[in-house]
Amino acid sequence: MKILDRRRFLSLVPGPLLAVAAAPLLTTQSSGFDSRQSIQDYPATRANNTGCWLDVCAPFIVEDPERNIHSEIILTSDTFAGRRGYSDGADKTEYEVYLYDAAGRPVGESGLARRLTVPAMQTTVLSARSLLGEDRPFWGGMRIRLRPQAREPMHASDLFSSAFVRWSTADSFDNVHANPDPLEWQKPESFYYSMPFPPLADYECTFSLFNPYEARSAGNLVLHDHAGTKLLDVPYDLKPHASLLFSVNAGEFRGGTRQVFGFAEDPVNSTPETPSGGGNSRRLTDGGGVLAITNTPGAQKGFGYLLIRGANHRRFSVEHPIHQSVLKPRPPTRPFDAKGTFAAKNVLFSPLLFRGKRVGEISFDSRFHLSTGLPQEEALWFNLFATDADGNVPWLSAKDSKLASLLPAAQIEQGLIRLSAGQSCVLDTGRLDLPGGFSGGLSLAVRPDSTHTLMKVEIRVPEWGAHAFTHFRPGLRAARGYQKPKQRGGLATDYIISGARAARREGRMLFDELIGIMNIDDQGVEGRPVLEIFTSRGLLTRIQLGPLPGFATRHYLLSELTKEMIGAIPVSVRLVDEQATLLMSAVHLDYGRRDIALDHGSDRFSTFNDYDCNSTA
């Protein structure tokens, strides 16, 4: 496929698509604050300003000392005012950690397992073992409450990056953020909670569901195949604070956690109320599909993780669904404007596009799992394009003759992907007309609008037999909104990942990070990104990355950026840029386990405008 340089590409992009992909809904000049603001603009004498308590949920915590299965909680304390409000210790976050076993029994008084205050950007790791107070088997769910104490009155600026869960075994590891539960969602209304699941011939998938509330949670769990055909519809009913496990492959509830990680189940570790599974060896489907949960009106919603283990080994990954309000999709409309060009309503992004990209001893391949969730219309349309390290466009889905052979005929129309409500599809970069050895970013233009969390990214490392999942990032329209709060200090980019490590022993790498940074700025502004590394003591080092051309995606090995090895204890990484709008995702590399994990990254103000102290919003 012919490579288009970025200027040529922009001249060919339909106006409606570009208008949405690059809509400057607000700029730093018009947002009401000075882009030169810094910590000096927020005197430390105002540090007693406390915000409201907000909640996040971690729906699967497990400890099994006999099988070497462990969980940790990573607290970033990433709410602070100004560009460097972390630097003097004046800004901090209070955390309350509530833990319940699978039957809903609390750990500690009323479930409060730990209360602590963490200074801003002092990455803090809590082991589940320390929360339990003893070395014993456990699984259940967690609710974390957080409240900033900042020099500027503010609530938590980003609930997605406030806390992470990290699981580890002898063979594998992963870490995923805890999921926001904003005040306005904490009501017994019906939600549609969904995500695509990968081909079940490749993976054993187990869904964990946790009820964080004092009232029951009940509803239906439904599985659809890739064509939207309903495979299964089963009811569930969870007591307050209780959890369940559900095998997607077998279509049945499971009682214990060991099968999730590839071990034989031990009845002693099974949930008393749920019979141990394992007798059903059939698969509902060999392909992928959609998992959807709708809670009954009048009952509380739940929170879940999908644990995705390789079919023939013990490496696993974890990903999560997204809540949507229940609505009836409108009849489908044509996605073209009067001139016959695709009229996108949003563009979603991922900097994790690889086809046989070699990095040292290993290589990376990507697959993408697209789904509709509960769409605004009965059909969701997609148009995709890739960008390289210079901002050029080497691949357009509408120009790829191989695409039609990879999907059912009903899911391709006039070069676009068309998914009806409940449908899903898988795009394997190894079967597309992408150049070998490619690394870059993928842009996903959609109509009507949709949420980035419904679009999953899968990375494989064939030399290790490793896999990991995450999801896309929101479009530029959302990014412009994140830039609005004055507490941000005028930065165009302020992004966070956590769980990063870089360590070497006797000349051999133990851990490393492959960091992907994508310039999505609509004006083609050249980025001048800076990475900041934060340990448990705060800022360790600051790294200038050099120019990042407009629309470009580049990947950096953390071990090549700094001579200082960070070590084996997880740290947080912050990406900042004064002028260009960028985003960041990362591949965590564990050379000892020969495994990977993904962090999609999050803007440090991604929930500040939407999830505040108002429970009636």
- Single-letter residue type at 176: V
Distance (Å, whole) CA 102 – CA 271: 7
Whether 616 has a pLDDT exceeding 90, the answer reads no
Closest C-alpha to 317, from 197, 454, 143, 211: 197
Whether 533 has a pLDDT exceeding 50, the answer reads yes
Whether 294 has a pLDDT exceeding 90, the answer reads yes
Q: Scanning the structure block, which residue is given the tokens 């879940």? A: 304
**Is the Cβ–Cβ distance between 520 and 385 less than 8 Å?**
no
- The residue-averaged pLDDT of 367-377 equals 96
Q: Which residues contact 94 (CB under 8 A, 6 or more apart)?
A: 50, 115, 116, 117, 146, 147, 148, 149
C-alpha to C-alpha distances, 549 to 242, 442, 476, 526, nearest whole angstrom: 49, 16, 17, 5
Whether 100 has a pLDDT exceeding 80, the answer reads yes
- The residue-averaged pLDDT of 338-343 equals 90
Whether 280 has a pLDDT exceeding 70, the answer reads no
Distance (Å, whole) CA 123 – CA 559: 20
Of 149-158, 389-398, 531-540, the one with minimum mean pLDDT is: 149-158
Whether 41 has a pLDDT exceeding 50, the answer reads no
- The residue-averaged pLDDT of 172-196 equals 95
Whether 43 has a pLDDT exceeding 50, the answer reads no
Distance (Å, whole) CA 4 – CA 394: 6
Q: Which residues contact 186 (CB under 8 A, 6 or more apart)?
A: 55, 213, 615
The residues with which 316 forms a beta bridge, in sequence order, are 309
Q: Where are the alpha helices (DSSP H) in 370-468?
A: 403-406
Whether 610 has a pLDDT exceeding 80, the answer reads yes
Q: Give the model's pLDDT for residue 310.
A: 95
Of 82-86, 503-507, 583-587, 596-600, the one with minimum mean pLDDT is: 503-507
Overall fold of domain 42-181: Hypothetical Protein Tm1070; Chain: A (2.60.290)
Q: For residue range 422-465, what is the model confidence (pLDDT) as tens digits?
A: 999 999 999 999 999 999 999 999 999 999 999 999 999 999 99
**pTM of the model as a whole:** 0.91
Collect contacts of 26-33 with beta carbons under 8 A, ≥24 apart.
26/480, 26/481, 26/483, 26/484, 27/480, 27/483, 28/483, 28/490, 28/492, 31/483, 31/484, 32/484, 32/486, 33/486, 33/488, 33/490
Two domains, one topology: 1-30+330-472 and 42-181: yes
Query: ∠75-81-85 over CA atoms, to 5°?
Result: 75
Q: Scanning the structure block, which residue is given the tokens 């769980």? A: 499
DSSP 391: S
Closest C-alpha to 483, from 561, 582, 386: 582
Q: Give the model's pLDDT for residue 532.
A: 97
Residue 402's CB is within 10 A of a number of other CB atoms, namely: 11
Query: DSSP letter string over 523-538?
Result: T-PPB--EEEEEETTE
Overall fold of domain 191-325: Hypothetical Protein Tm1070; Chain: A (2.60.290)
Q: What is the maximal distance between C-alpha atoms in the chain?
A: 67
Collect contacts of 434-437 with beta carbons under 8 A, ≥24 apart.
434/1, 434/355, 434/386, 434/394, 434/395, 435/355, 435/394, 436/355, 436/356, 437/355, 437/356, 437/357, 437/358
| Residue 193 backbone class (left: φ over 0; alpha: ψ -120 to 50; beta: rest) | beta
Q: Give the model's pLDDT for residue 278.
A: 40
Distance (Å, whole) CA 293 – CA 237: 12
Q: Give the model's pLDDT for residue 18.
A: 46
**Is the Cβ–Cβ distance between 364 and 357 less than 8 Å?**
yes
For the chain, the structural domain boundaries read 1-30+330-472, 42-181, 191-325
- The residue-averaged pLDDT of 528-541 equals 95
CATH superfamily of 1-30+330-472: TM1070-like (2.60.290.11)
